Structure formats: C-alpha cells, structure tokens
Amino acid sequence: MKKIVLLAAALAAGTLTASAQVEIGVKISPSITSLRADGPSANPFSGSDSKVGFGGGLIVDYFFGENYAFGTGLFLTGKGGSYTYTELAGTPLATSITQKLTTQYIELPATIKLFTNEVAPDVKLYFQLGASVAVPIAARIDGEKFFKDPFNGNKETEAYSHVFPVDANALLGLGAEYQLGSRTKVLAGLSYHRGLIDLDRYFEKERGFKDVNIRNNVFALDLGMKF
C-alpha cells in the first residue's frame, strides 16, 4: 500500500511538472513614491512631497493553469519621499522640519496573477494580487549618507541606520500582455505597493518620540518583456 501511495505521488508530481509552464523575463518600473507619516500631537508628523523612483529586475511567472500563475522575481527598487515633523512642539520655539528620505531595496514579491482569455488578437489582460518583502541596501537623508541632528547635540548617524531592516508591502496590479512570437511577450501595467511596516528606527529610538509611523507608498508603471 505504501509503495502504491508513493508511486501515485510521484506520478502526480511528474504530471504537475510536465503541465506547469514557467515564463521568465525582465521589467523596468518608473514610479512615483511617497511616505505616509503620522505621529501624536506632541510630535506631529505628516507626509510631504513625493519623488520619482525607478526599479527593475527579473520576472518569473509559474503557471499552474492556463490563466493562473504564481508571480515572483527579484527587483532593485527605489523608494522614499519627504515628511514634515515639529521639533519642540507645544513651545514658543516650535520648528517645522522637512526631511527627504531616499532608500533602495532588494525586493521579492509573492503574488497570484489572473489572466483573461484574449480580449484582442494576441492580447490578454492580467490582474495581480499579493505581497512583497524587501530589504534596504542603501539610504540617504536630504541627499547625504550621514545625518547630523542639530536638535540632538549635532549627533551624526548613518542614514541607513534610520531605516528598519525589512519592509513588507501589499501589492495590487493590472495590465496587459501582448504575444509577439511563440515565446516572446511584452507587457505594460500599473501597480500599487502599500508599505505595511513602520520604517522609523531613529525618532523613537534616538529621540524618544512616541508612536511615530513612517511607511512607504509606491505607484509604478511596469514595462517588461518575457522570453
């Protein structure tokens, strides 16, 4: 009985592997990135200006049905934006400060992609839903790798140390693929990446601020080709 079960499992695995289709390609993603920031009235924070970002990397779509795929890959992604906060809040010396935070991440998505049947000759629409995990590899504050805080005794810290060492994002996208040849496809779409993790490792840790939250926000134009 055990041998029969093992044989059945092996046959099922072989059938799944044979029927599965993997499509690999590359993608570039110019984007508009911003930061969602908030804090209590004692130390108010708010998001400010957005910035232009850029990302790109490897696409991998693992099809487990004709119109269903597990979408992943590996991307280098630029994020960030500006936020405004108040120093010495509630005193006559209250000062509004705006900082620009720029970060680069290595990002790994895990999504489900749903494809329509052809809506025009060789054209399919797709819808993408899932999440991604990202690790920061570089950061700058106001364009500098190091930050000197005049409200903290001019203490100098590395900008990278201000950013939490991992980020997680909810991901939602839609777009279209066009079949150029037997295996070659081009794609264009839009995606929204909503940061779920508070990035701040400075204001609460070094300055003693309470309940500060700074999160990423990205709207991207996805342009790619699969081979």
Percent with pLDDT over 90 in the chain: 82
Condensed to tens digits (0 to 9), the pLDDT of residues 51-61 reads 999 999 999 99
Specify whether the CB–CB gap between 145 and 191 falls below 8 A: no
Q: What is the pLDDT of residue 17?
A: 43
Q: What is the pLDDT of residue 20?
A: 61
Residues 6+ apart with CB under 8 A from 221: 29, 30, 31, 188, 189, 190
CB atoms under 10 Å from CB of 51, counted, come to 17
Cα–Cα distance for residue pair 206/105, rounded to 1 Å: 23
Four-residue CA torsion sign, 138, 144, 147, 151? negative
CATH 2.70.170.10, applies to 21-226:
no
pLDDT of 167 over the 90 cut: yes
Assigned token pair, 50: 């957005």
Residues 6+ apart with CB under 8 A from 47: 34, 35, 36, 37, 81, 82, 83, 84, 217
Four-residue CA torsion sign, 24, 192, 100, 141? negative
Give mean pLDDT, residues 174-182.
Answer: 94
Residues 6+ apart with CB under 8 A from 161: 201, 202
Cα–Cα distance for residue pair 17/186, rounded to 1 Å: 25
Condensed to tens digits (0 to 9), the pLDDT of residues 9-58 reads 443 344 444 446 999 999 999 999 999 999 998 889 999 999 999 999 99
DSSP string, 92-126: TT-EEEEEEEEEEEEEEEEEEEEEPSPSBTTEEEE
pLDDT of 223 over the 80 cut: yes
pLDDT of 66 over the 80 cut: yes
Cα–Cα distance for residue pair 165/38, rounded to 1 Å: 20
137 band by pLDDT with thresholds 50, 70 and 90: very high
Assigned token pair, 76: 């280098």
Residue that is written with structure tokens 């079949």 in the block: 179
Specify whether the CB–CB gap between 200 and 167 falls below 8 A: no
Specify whether the CB–CB gap between 136 and 103 falls below 8 A: yes
